[in-house]
């Protein structure tokens, strides 16, 4: 592994549709040679920057450090090439490992089998040298290894993040279909929220959008609440350097006066959101109300003079609702926006485009995103005040 201030290539993984945001985040953080790819961004930095990227990036899922690239034509070739790497540079025989494999190849079709082959090569190397082998730990390994196979080219990387970076560490409780933290942060950033105007999530679930907004506005590092990053178990972990990086990020936290409001119909879920808000230490800026979006009176709680309020909403997509009920729900969303939210901007994410038509409003922007495996549209609606009920703009 590189020591000192030596720079090397890294890759930050992200979700589809968030690549441009991640490019900008990396540039602002100080990365070099930033280059966008499909669901990933490559960049150059030193060890300290790798630590900072894990701590601060909001739209990254993992930070990978490539250590070797080679071509293979079959599984035995993978075993042979993996075996040529001196794994004692990266782990000890008593350590644990896990291997993730991503495939985009006509030559190979089973990612789990390829991961198994790579694991065999590593543990066989240790067994041959020491008479014993490292064990596998899929949950919390000492070393997480990533294989990326494109056509017949294989890149072996060390996963410096460990658990996915969307696991921020503040969310102990979730509702049935929570939105993940990286997508939530990305949606807030895509909306163009100015970090000062009121922000409302009228179907807030367990509060992820609210908390991510508060962390963005107050410059709280995305990984502030995480107990552990993968690089902390590496042979070359520099605890003094990590402390310096961490403390420098903490010093930049601000305490903005904000209005971030959540509305949640289910009492139990609203309590989850309130507890997660407390866990994230943003209770001074986030309020959660246990009522329905249709009954909530925004101007009783929000100062209109602060700036144009923005709504970001993740309504049900229909997995647990009958079609007629879903159409009625989306119609009521549109009616409520027209009736109560003049002068606001609303952003709605959904995978159910048919139901979205029932809102009865014309969107002014459309962005493709994924919520888990579901392809979604993130749509912007501008609610005009005065006599203009709806500003007619041709759909994208």
Query: Tokens representing 221?
Result: 């590092």
DSSP-assigned letter for residue 151: T
What span, in angstroms and rounded, lies between the C-alpha atoms of 85 and 90? 10
Q: How far apart are CA 61 and CA 383, in angstroms?
A: 34
How far is Cα 261 from Cα 199, in angstroms, rounded to an integer? Answer: 6
User: Nearest 5°: phi and psi at 261?
Assistant: -125, 130
- The residues pairing with 143 across neighbouring beta strands, listed in sequence order, are 97
Residue 118 has pLDDT above 50, yes or no: yes
Q: What is the pLDDT of residue 324?
A: 73
pTM: 0.92
Q: Where are the domains of the chain?
A: 8-159, 181-222+254-382
For the cut 50, the answer to whether the pLDDT of residue 230 exceeds it is yes
Q: Starting at the edge strand that comes first in sequence, how are the strands of the sheet with 62-71 ordered?
A: 32-37, 40-45, 8-13, 62-71, 153-159, 143-150, 96-104, 135-136
Q: What value does the mean pLDDT of the chain take?
A: 91
Gap between the Cα atoms of 361 and 391, Å rounded: 9
Banded pLDDT at 1 (limits 50, 70, 90): very low
pLDDT tens per residue, range 29-66? 999 999 999 999 999 999 999 999 999 999 999 999 99
Asked whether the predicted pLDDT for residue 296 surpasses 90, the reply is yes
Residue 387 pLDDT: 34
Query: What is the rounded CA–CA span in Å between residue 77 and residue 71?
Result: 8
323 or 201: which carries more pLDDT confidence? 201
pLDDT in tens, 65-85: 999 999 998 999 999 999 999
User: Quick one: pLDDT at residue 393?
Assistant: 38
Average pLDDT on 318-344 reads 86
Return the number of other C-beta atoms located less than 10 Å from residue 184's C-beta. 26
**Residue 229, helix vs strand vs coil:** coil
Q: Find out whether 224 and 163 touch, Cβ atoms under 8 Å.
A: no
Q: Return the CATH number of the domain spanning residue range 8-159.
A: 3.30.2130.30
Which CATH number is 181-222+254-382's, of 3.40.630.10, 1.25.40.10, 3.40.50.150, 3.40.190.10? 3.40.50.150
Specify the range with the lowest mean pLDDT, choosing from 150-164, 227-241, 267-281, 374-388: 374-388
Quickly state the pLDDT bin for 105 (edges 50, 70, 90). Answer: confident
Instruction: Please name the residues in contact with 236: beta carbons below 8 A apart, sequence gap of 6 or more.
Output: 1, 3, 47
Residue with tokens 């669901």: 39
């Amino acid at each position: 592994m590189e020591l000192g201030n030596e720079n090397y290539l890294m890759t930050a993984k992200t979700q589809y549709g968030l690549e441009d945001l991640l490019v900008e985040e990396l540039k602002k953080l100080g990365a070099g040679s930033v280059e966008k790819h499909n669901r990933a961004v490559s960049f150059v930095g030193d060890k300290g920057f790798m630590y900072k990227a894990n701590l601060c990036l909001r739209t990254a899922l993992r930070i990978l450090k490539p250590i070797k690239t080679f071509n293979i034509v079959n599984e035995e070739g993978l075993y042979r090439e993996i075996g040529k790497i001196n794994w004692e540079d990266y782990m000890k025989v008593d350590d644990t490992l896990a291997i993730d494999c991503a495939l985009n190849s006509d030559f190979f079709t089973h990612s789990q089998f390829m991961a198994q082959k790579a694991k065999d090569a590593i543990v066989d190397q240790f067994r041959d040298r020491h008479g014993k082998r490292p064990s596998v730990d899929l949950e919390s390994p000492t070393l997480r290894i990533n294989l990326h196979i494109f056509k017949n080219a294989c890149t072996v990387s060390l996963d410096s993040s460990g658990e996915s970076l969307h696991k921020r560490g503040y969310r102990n409780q979730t509702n049935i279909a929570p939105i993940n933290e990286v997508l939530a942060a990305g949606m807030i950033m895509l909306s163009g929220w100015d970090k000062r105007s009121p922000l409302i999530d009228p179907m807030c679930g367990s509060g992820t959008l609210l908390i991510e907004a508060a962390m963005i506005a107050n410059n709280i590092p995305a990984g502030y609440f995480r107990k552990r990053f993968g690089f902390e178990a590496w042979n070359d972990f520099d605890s003094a350097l990590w402390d310096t990086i961490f403390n420098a990020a903490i010093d930049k936290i601000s305490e903005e006066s904000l209005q971030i409001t959540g509305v949640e119909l289910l009492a139990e879920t609203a309590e989850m959101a309130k507890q997660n808000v407390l866990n994230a230490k943003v209770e001074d800026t986030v309020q959660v109300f246990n009522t329905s979006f249709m009954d909530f009176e925004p101007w009783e709680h929000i100062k209109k003079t602060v700036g144009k309020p923005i709504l970001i909403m993740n309504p049900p997509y229909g997995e647990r609702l009958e079609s007629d009920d879903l159409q009625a729900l989306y119609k009521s969303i549109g009616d409520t926006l027209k009736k109560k939210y003049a002068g606001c901007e609303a952003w709605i994410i959904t995978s159910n485009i048919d139901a979205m038509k029932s809102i009865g409003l014309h969107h002014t922007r459309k962005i493709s995103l994924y919520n888990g495996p579901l392809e979604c549209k993130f749509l912007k609606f501008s609610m005009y005040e005065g006599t203009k009920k709806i500003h007619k703009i041709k759909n994208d």
